[in-house]
Amino acid sequence: MATELYDLTIPVFVRGLRALSTLLEKGAAHAAEKGVDPLTLTGARLIEDMHPLTAQVQSACDSAKGAVIRIGQLDPFPMTDTEQTFDELQERIARTIAFLQSVPRDRIDGREDVEVVLKTPSGDFPFTGRSHVLTFSLPNFYFHVTTAYALLRQAGVPVGKLDYLGGI
């Protein structure tokens, strides 16, 4: 039996976002326990020219919802990138999960060969639904979740591989 495109997107993104939420919970708890300004953590960068934790969370959410919107040819679901606090980032994750879970399976399944065009300032990038998920959306999503994990880990937040994986 073939795996449906829905199964490669919605549940995978939701699981990853829930894991990201757990990482943020641990980051907030660590800041409170150690007396660290939470904005120090949410504003943390791996290196000066990389985006901070806030943008990593925003981008993970955008990658998940953007993939589903493009494949399902759904109306945009805009979110402003104004989050700064752990609570605001948690709200963004919750809104993204709620949006993903509202998408009917029939808007995603069967769209493996549909033309998907990713429009960026650098140009347009054509994909099929399948290639968009497998070669762009999932790698991009996990890049941002991994970077968020690394930022928190680097700051001393006690997170590990099982936190990243969302539990087993």
Residue spans per domain, the chain: 5-165
Q: What is the pLDDT of residue 168?
A: 66
3 state SS of 120 = strand
Q: What is the pLDDT of residue 2?
A: 60
**pTM, 2 dp:** 0.95
Q: Shortest CA distance to 100 belongs to which of 137, 143, 152?
A: 137
Q: What is the pLDDT of residue 167?
A: 72
Domain 5-165 fold is Four Helix Bundle (Hemerythrin (Met), subunit A) (1.20.120)
Tally Cβ neighbours within 10 Å of residue 22.
16
Whole-angstrom Cα distance, residue 41 to residue 85?
9
The tokens for 111 are 């769209």
Q: What is the pLDDT of residue 4?
A: 93
Whole-angstrom Cα distance, residue 75 to residue 50?
30
Query: 32 Cβ partners below 8 Å, 6+ apart?
Result: 38
Hunting for tokens 């495109």 — which residue is that?
Answer: 5
Q: What is the pLDDT of residue 156?
A: 96
Q: What is the pLDDT of residue 41?
A: 97
Model confidence pLDDT, tens digit, residues 56-73: 999 999 999 999 999 999
Element holding 28 (H helix, E strand): helix 5-34
Query: Residue ranges of the chain with pLDDT lower than 70?
Result: 1-3, 168
